[in-house]
Chains A and B, each alone.
Chain A
Amino acid sequence: MIRFENVSKRYDGAREALSNVSIEVAAGELAFLTGRSGAGKSTVLKLVALIERPTRGQVIVGGRPLARLGYRDVPAYRQQIGMVFQDNRLLNDRSAYENVALPLIISGTGEREIGRRTRAALDQVGLLDREKYPPRALSAGEQQRLSIARAIVSHPKVLIADEPTGNLDPDLSLEIMNLFRRLNEVGVTMLIASHDLPLVERFGSRRIVLSGGQVSGSESTAQTTGAGK
């Protein structure tokens, strides 16, 4: 589903953020990207989201080489990808409902369908009773759940998340990760960047370990009892 073939990325005047990286995430898989800060986790996700383009190598998502997508193709591509950001990137001048509905408005969905799918997504993350609240009136965990609702409202086949539990306490982090697991169980391919190794190790999913812009390992971890339920 997501394949990196010898991908390198160098930002202007800086060292290579990624160096000859080859990774693959199968359809329906939940994989974690781990590594220290600056290891290249965010760059991998930016390349998948087409925020950046690789300096060398090829990124293929859903069988499509992203290099072939021109500027005008980027919006349609991004509409098929769910994205969760560490800082949520929620709009505080809009209600929770309006934040979640935004991807559907962008893709030109009809009003009735927007209402149905937005409330379903809010229900899925347990925030249906908060639909009129602006994000700043919600707790940190609720805000992250809201951003997940926004990421899944378009029913994406691929969901990427950059440090989705970065600002959350351990209990909330576990709650968010369990939410990801439930989404993965219905077939969404997920690539989640996290430096929270203890949390990641509680899930029996593959870990792609990055170090200094290179893949230093890829391993599965045993699922700890209580996680993923």
Chain B
Amino acid sequence: MSAGILLARHAQNLLGALGALTRNPVGTFLTVSVIGIALALPAALHVLVQTGKSAAGNWDDMRDFSVYMAPATPLPRAETLARELRKRDGIDSVQLITAEAAVAEMGKDPVFANALAALEGNPLPHTLVVRPAAGMDGEQLGKLSAELQATPDVDLVKLDLQWVQRLNAILDFLARLGWIAAVLLGGAVLIIVGNTIRLDIQTRTEEIEVAKLLGATDSFVRRPFLYLGLWYGLFGSLLATLILAISLWLLGAPVARLATLYGSDLEMAGVGLETLAAVLGGGLLAGWSGAWLAVSRHLSGLRPRD
């Protein structure tokens, strides 16, 4: 068969399969809807994880050390220590918050303002906010913390990593959950498409048998059904993307409000190219594979019998 004829046959099968879908709009809509919903769920989990990672990134400053100087440490000593630390490897920046600046900041809150007014002097120490270099792991951070703690005139070193670590653990869990959901629901899509194609094969059994008797190869018989599976996968993927986009649009404002309450400018991650490619690729692959399995199973019954 020449390349031109083969190409023409593929084009005929591709359009023929599309025509078959339009001839049964209700059945097509139901199948595509189930596929769309099944694909949207893991994609939504993926977007949720991306949003969470973005949140964790926004709160990266939670890695900062708060180095509280001992009470009554003079300001020049705190300034000297800040200069020394800025020169050290493994430290990105050091910000000095003087005791006066800290008490002024605290005084802006009416609750604390009354309490501070009742005190005779400033109870707050000078504080150095030390930001470690990016990419330091837990062990390195622990070592730095110990070194800072051992510095003369330092009273307390505080590193509040715990909740960021918890958030990352939750995100890892959700990411894993997303993969499991993707595999399970991808399998479900494969079964849905396979079953739909199987029903279609049943209505075209005679045509297939006649074609085989007239010398049709398995690929000739399989081709229109593979295109049918691909169309199901494509339309299911597009519906999944639409469901996802609408869901993200609906969730965008509440998430932004929630983030504002926590002092963050966090926004829901959108349907990026990566997600779109994964949903499209997954849908097409599941549609194609489901069709392949359904047709192959049928064709195995049409082999010459011994």
Contacts and interface: CB of A to CB of B under 8 A. Distances in A.
Given A107-B215, A108-B1, A51 B304 contact: yes
Q: Which 5 A-B pairs have the closest CB atoms?
A: A108-B1, A79-B215, A78-B215, A75-B217, A75-B215
A89 B206 CA distance: 8
B123 to A, nearest CB: 89
B304 A50 contact: yes
B306 A53 contact: yes
A49 B213 contact: yes
B108 interface: no
A53 B215 contact: no
Interface string B3-14: 011101100000
Given A91-B207, A111-B8, A106 B214 contact: yes
Interface string A117-157: 00000000000000000000000000000000010000000
B213 A51 contact: yes
Nearest to B216: A106
A108 B6 contact: yes
Contacts of B4: 110
Nearest to A94: B207
Interface in B163-214: 206-207, 209-214
Given A51-B305, A110-B5, A75 B216 contact: yes
Contacts of A79: 214-215
Given A53-B305, A111-B8, A91 B217 contact: no
Contacts, number: 66
A67 to B, nearest CB: 10
B303 interface: yes
Interface string A42-67: 00000001111101000000000000
Interface of B: 1-2, 4-6, 8-9, 206-207, 209-217, 220, 303-306
Contacts of A107: 1, 215
A199 interface: no
A40 interface: no
Nearest to A89: B210
Interface string A174-208: 00000000000000000000000000000000000
B206 to A, nearest CB: 7
Nearest to B211: A106
Contact of B304 (A53, A81, A110): A53
B304 A103 contact: no
A110 B1 CA distance: 9
Contacts of B209: 89
A52 B302 CA distance: 10
Given A102-B210, A111-B5, 19 more contacts: A51-B305, A52-B304, A52-B305, A53-B304, A53-B305, A75-B215, A78-B212, A78-B213, A78-B214, A78-B215, A79-B214, A79-B215, A80-B215, A91-B207, A93-B207, A106-B214, A108-B1, A108-B6, A150-B214
